[in-house]
Structure 1
Amino acid sequence: MDTFTPMNIIVDNLVELTELFSDVAMGAGLAPLLILVGALLVVFTMGVFGLLTLGAVGNLFTAS
């Protein structure tokens, strides 16, 4: 049962991190808006670079 102890610590830390982050994120006036804009920027850039990566991988397997 020693192998599950680090996993429990990691899960407990993630739960505590989520609670602390949500308290800070929803606390001040513009903080939720800033977090939303930041999340949208991250999702948009991940989507663009994901599509570019898929296009590059597809280009590897298609004949010219």
Structure 2
Amino acid sequence: MVTVTPLNIIVDNIVEMIGLFSDVAMGAGLAPLLVLMGALLVAVSMGVFGILTLGAVGNLFTAN
């Protein structure tokens, strides 16, 4: 059970990071809009590259 302590520290740091990030992201001005646009960009690019990856894996298992 030596790995429990570092794992707890990592989880605690992630929870704290989310809280700090949400405070900054929901701050003044256009910050919420910028966070939303960034999340949209990341989601769309992950979807496109995910589809391309699935196509490449499917191409490995099909005959020419």
| TM-score after normalising by structure 1 | 0.91
**Residue matched to 2:38:** 38
| Per-residue Cα deviation, 1:21-53 (whole angstroms, up to 9, x for no partner) | 000000111001001001100110110011011
**Residue matched to 1:60:** 60
Q: How many residues align?
A: 64
C-alpha deviation, 1:2, in angstroms? 3.5
Percent sequence identity is 78
The answer for unaligned runs of 5 or more in structure 1 is none
Deviant stretches of 4+, over 6 Å: none
RMSD after superposition: 1.0
| TM-score after normalising by structure 2 | 0.91
